[in-house]
Amino acid sequence: MSQVIALFAGRGELPLKIITHCYEQEQPLFLVAFEGQTDSDFVIQQQPYVKGHLWTHFGAVGKTLRYLKDHKVTHIVMAGSMNRPSLSELKLDWKGTQWAAKMGLKALGDDGLLTGIVQLLKSEGLNVISATDILDNLLAPEGVMGHHQPEEADWQDIRRGKEIARLLGVGDIGQAVVVQQGLVLGVEAIEGTEGLLARCGQLRREGRGGVLVKMAKPDQSRAVDLPTIGVATIQQAKAAGLCGIAVESGSTQILDQKAVIKAADEAGLYLVGVSSS
């Protein structure tokens, strides 16, 4: 049986890359868009390139599952950033209420919520795949990318950032931290990386700028919510006065690596892939 994929689309470049690739490969793809999350113009623009689309919301679990089954969807890929709603904002239907009762407190954190969604989809006979299963060369390699090299002081900040990011991940809080000269300027929570960088730009100290460190949460599903950077991340890091970006190699998605490396070179930022240990 051939694959029929449904894309749960958030914001950003990644959903478009997946749709473009599947269209070029003649891979059947349905688009699932979420109210208050997916851009409506994006959905309109992509209609010629997908087999169909559904507008839904997070709490409409039964409606979404019926749509997937009616269109014989076999695989799900989740891509793009989304704002996680509180449980009171979900407006769960009966199917969703049953699922939330089974999940309990595990549904309160980002990773717990996503893990629960993956388990629900699998229990309905659907395969949850990663964007990296569709797109090649998406994951960051290890080592310095581009022309600019971190200095020894930068490596100290990177090591400090890895330690903090690990703690954030264990607590299921966020994936990113900004460190400057040993000081933690900010950690990522519900505002996301863009909000973190905007906040840290106002907090930077005199002297050499800091580093954005992004790491996957320990034991998180590699099918959903991997750390991601793109050209916009480079521009935001530059605007925040940083000297560079360090990401976990093999677990961080880089949207269009050539363009991102070129942007980092032009911005005077180092870009480095580091191990999780």
The pLDDT of residue 103 is 66
State how far the Cα of 2 lies from the Cα of 59, in Å rounded to an integer: 29
User: What would the pLDDT profile of 42-98 be if each residue is shown by its tens digit?
Assistant: 999 999 999 999 999 988 999 999 999 999 999 999 999 887 766 666 788 888 788
Give the pLDDT mean for 111-131: 84
The pLDDT of residue 87 is 64
Question: Which runs of consecutive H residues, i.e. helices, occur in 124-230?
Answer: 152-170, 192-201
The pLDDT of residue 82 is 83
Could you give all domains of the chain from N- to C-terminal order, each with its CATH number?
5-133 (3.40.50.20), 143-274 (3.40.140.80)
CB 145 within 8 A of CB 169: no
User: What would the pLDDT profile of 20-49 be if each residue is shown by its tens digit?
Assistant: 999 999 999 999 999 989 999 999 999 999
Please compute, for residue 69, the number of CA atoms within 13 A of its CA located in the half-sphere on the CB side: 11
The pLDDT of residue 225 is 77
User: What would the pLDDT profile of 178-234 be if each residue is shown by its tens digit?
Assistant: 999 999 999 998 888 999 999 999 999 999 999 999 999 887 667 777 899 999 999
User: What would the pLDDT profile of 125-163 be if each residue is shown by its tens digit?
Assistant: 999 999 999 998 899 999 999 999 999 999 999 999 999
Query: Could you tell me how far CA 201 lies from the centroid of its own chain?
Result: 22
Question: Which runs of consecutive H residues, i.e. helices, occur in 72-175?
Answer: 94-103, 110-123, 152-170
Give the pLDDT mean for 164-169: 92
CB 61 within 8 A of CB 37: no
Residues contacting residue 95 through CB under 8 Å, at least 6 positions apart: 61, 62, 65
The pLDDT of residue 194 is 92
State how far the Cα of 64 lies from the Cα of 70, in Å rounded to an integer: 10
